[in-house]
Chain A
């Protein structure tokens, strides 16, 4: 393909802007260069102009000066016939692969000169009124690169038969004649409402038809199939999405919920207030023999005993060293729900209200079930307290597998 559809169309309209209507009709190289082709690949004769098939040259009477009414009637018949043909062609194209479709081998080009031969209204006039900038703007819609590479190669998808008929009807309307009874008016209306600009209504259908005809159907079919497949995949993925591991926690929390931020050895952690059992000042922690390093001991509190977790040792065992242990000065215990477990922390930062959407919730189970997610703004972990309690009850450390419990 030496020239894109958009460039060809653009060149065509550029030519219309320059040349008088009569010259364009009678001496157009479009007709001359395409006399030998019909519905097949047209050899590229002139890069600056679009091509028209022999059939279009024969069927569409360009010399409308001589027999305007007859020419129009013939044009309508030709359009109806061509519309049917196009419909068939499109349907066939979708089923029969074709390896050699040229953008310029377009029966849609049939319709391009139709806009010109009108005795009542010169189709060159509105085109003349359109400046090049406006034209570029209009064509930009079809010139925009598609996200998919395949779509890039084919700027527009295939037109449906209804759309083609609608476009044909548009031409008839432009000619000031009655709409073909076979054409569904509603379809036409809906098709027309999809066009944004008034000028676009004049030009776009022509472009669309051309593109529809010139688009290699196998590729389009592949694209359509791909889209259908991707839709199916998306639906399947939606249906198969496993429930988030933090779903229970998220259900408990309101859309906006409060969290308490606390610090341990420079690390900030957040705990939802609904999961906070209380805050207890560190007093005397009784060390129990035979316990893991992360188990600081037991602190009596109001006739109860708090199992104190060395949060730093539990959360960051790989960084925990005797030097770090000496440097840490635990001040408070963050109680987990109504359990006996309390996380030792050095300082309490603050309690703030955050939105659920401000947390990057964990969706999949991983090595850290105790981590519900990450608070985006503070960039700190938010605890899944129930999972943490389960792990602590099972005597598991941060890096221990939950299966062990």
Chain B
């Protein structure tokens, strides 16, 4: 523990930029995504399924005349599916030069975090989804799991997504 503290202290002295994170809930856990990658947050709308699409793709939506592919975030994170309710949101993000939507349970707020407040996630994951997490932060005694949206899909998957 002391090691991480000292590392954090060093970082605070040198390059301790403040980053904004949009937080959302998924299966009672709070995740954060870089606010710079978030374009907008939509209420749940009808998602049109796409035949032959990968299983992590829920379907497509029409966003002001543009077709946006919506990703099943729960499935992607290895979580069980849940029913859509009033708090369900579609977060439109930009990653790997593509605009996609991610379905989340709810969107909470935008938080400010210093870089020094971000810790590395325990490096014990062997599954694909382990690399989605770029760090964790303890905020008000609550853990915020920071997601690296660029790694939400592999290069092949990003390419496959662009063809839909």
Seen from chain A, the residues whose Cβ lies within 8 Å of a Cβ on chain B are 284, 286-292, 295, 298-300, 303-305, 307, 338-340, 392-393, 395
| Interchain CB contact under 8 A, A338 and B2 | yes
| Interchain CB contact under 8 A, B1 and A291 | no
Partner of B133, one of A289, A304, A338: A289
Residue B160 interfacial (CB < 8 Å): no
Residue B119 interfacial (CB < 8 Å): yes
Q: Which residue of A has the minimal Cβ distance to B123?
A: A395
A189 to B127, CA, bound (A): 82
| Interchain CB contact under 8 A, B78 and A288 | no
Chain B residues near A287: list those with CB within 8 A: 27, 29
| Interchain CB contact under 8 A, B126 and A395 | yes
Interface size of B as a range: 20 to 34
Q: 24 A-B residue contacts at CB 8 Å?
A: A286-B29, A286-B145, A287-B27, A287-B29, A288-B121, A288-B133, A288-B136, A288-B145, A290-B77, A290-B78, A290-B133, A292-B125, A295-B124, A298-B122, A298-B136, A300-B138, A300-B141, A300-B142, A300-B143, A303-B138, A304-B138, A305-B138, A338-B2, A392-B124
A284 to B1, CA, bound (A): 19
Chain A nearest Cβ from B108, distance in angstroms: 15
Chain A residues near B126: list those with CB within 8 A: 290, 292, 395
| Interchain CB contact under 8 A, A291 and B122 | yes
Residue B128 interfacial (CB < 8 Å): yes
| Interchain CB contact under 8 A, B138 and A290 | no
Residue B129 interfacial (CB < 8 Å): yes
Interface digits, B129-160 against A, CB 8 Å rule (1 contact, 0 not)? 11111001010011101000000000000000
Partner of B122, one of A284, A303, A307: A307
Residue B79 interfacial (CB < 8 Å): yes
Chain A nearest Cβ from B21, distance in angstroms: 16
Partner of B129, one of A286, A289, A307, A392: A289
Chain B residues near A291: list those with CB within 8 A: 122, 124-125, 127, 130
Chain A nearest Cβ from B88, distance in angstroms: 19
Chain A contact residues: helix, strand, loop or mixed: loop
A298 in contact with B133 given A287-B29, A288-B121, A292-B126 (CB within 8 Å): no
Q: Which residue of B has the minimal Cβ distance to A338?
A: B1
Partner of A304, one of B1, B121, B124, B125: B1
Q: Which residue of A has the minimal Cβ distance to B127?
A: A290
Interface digits, B1-45 against A, CB 8 Å rule (1 contact, 0 not)? 110100000000000000000000001011000000000000000
Q: Which residue of B has the minimal Cβ distance to A394?
A: B124
Partner of A290, one of B130, B142, B143: B130
A288 to B137, CA, bound (A): 12
Chain B residues near A339: list those with CB within 8 A: 1
Chain A CB count within 10 A is highest, among B131, B132, B141, for: B141
A392 to B27, CA, bound (A): 26
| Interchain CB contact under 8 A, B124 and A395 | yes
Chain B nearest Cβ from A308, distance in angstroms: 10
A289 to B122, CA, bound (A): 11
Chain B residues near A290: list those with CB within 8 A: 77-78, 125-133
A287 to B130, CA, bound (A): 12
Chain B nearest Cβ from A170, distance in angstroms: 78
Chain B nearest Cβ from A277, distance in angstroms: 9
Chain B residues near A286: list those with CB within 8 A: 29-30, 136, 142-143, 145
Chain A residues near B143: list those with CB within 8 A: 286, 298-300, 305
Q: Which residue of B has the minimal Cβ distance to A339?
A: B1
Chain B nearest Cβ from A392, distance in angstroms: 7
Q: Which residue of A has the minimal Cβ distance to B77?
A: A289
Q: Which residue of A has the minimal Cβ distance to B137?
A: A305
Q: Which residue of B has the minimal Cβ distance to A298?
A: B143
Chain A residues near B131: list those with CB within 8 A: 290
Chain A residues near B30: list those with CB within 8 A: 286
Chain A residues near B130: list those with CB within 8 A: 289-291
A300 to B137, CA, bound (A): 9
Chain A nearest Cβ from B3, distance in angstroms: 9
Partner of B119, one of A289, A295, A299, A305: A305
